Amino acid sequence: MKLRDLKDSVAVITGASSGIGQATAKALVEEGVNVVLVARSKDKLEALAKELGDRAVVKVADVADEVAIAKVFADVKKAFGGVDLLFNNAGVGYNNLFEKSTREEWKATIDANLYGVLNCTQLAIPLMRGRKGAMISTVSSVGGRYGIAGWSVYNATKFAVVGFHDALRKELGDEGIRVSLIEPGSVHTNWGFNVPADKMKERRESIDALHPEDIANALVFAFSAPAHVNVQESLIMPTRQISP
């Protein structure tokens, strides 16, 4: 399959300050893509943008903040005229038995993992029309397929994201806008609330967990596929991970 040339296309990446988002920004810039880096951490975004050079633009915003994220997309429209790729990567998750979990944890998880995706996606769609090969790609999780004890609210948001994308794909297919999900298993990132760092490190090393670059490469492949090819779902697991 001959892949598309991505040079000068425009990508909005949420959760871009670290982990998968950061790795994806680097991979896309290597392909000549202009990247809009969105996250809450100004210092981390500016350091990344300095490393990436002129193709990187920093936009500090919380994806759950409707006003802030609307300004991001208004600025993108003004600067670039449209969007070719939205990579919904921002997210959080609290490890806690549901009975012991708090409403604050519920809200933070739902705001980032679901409302953040909804906010960015709704704003991106009008900016994608007429742009060949446009794609909405979202990081879900193996936790969007299987429930995991201690991650109940996180699972709920990821199952919701899967259902949302299945419907959205059917809404936008006739317009040529692709809708894709990436569902990683264990990844070496700083992700994992309420989980001791040493326990997370031990778990990831025991199964030779994925690296952020592995997910970034999958995203670049899906985006660079011919416009008539939609990689609808990519479940990416470490070879040694035999359970969620």
Active-site residue, from 94, 115, 146, 154: 154
Which three-class secondary structure string do you get for the chain?
A: CCCCCCCCCEEEEECCCCHHHHHHHHHHHHCCCEEEEEECCHHHHHHHHHHHCCCEEEEECCCCCHHHHHHHHHHHHHHHCCCCEEEECCCCCECCCHHHCCHHHHHHHHHHHHHHHHHHHHHHHHHHCCCCCCEEEEECCHHHCCCCCCCHHHHHHHHHHHHHHHHHHHHHHHHCCEEEEEEECCECCCCCECCCHHHHHHHHHHCCCECHHHHHHHHHHHHHCCCCCCCCEEEECCCCCCCC
94 is catalytic: no
Active site residues: 154
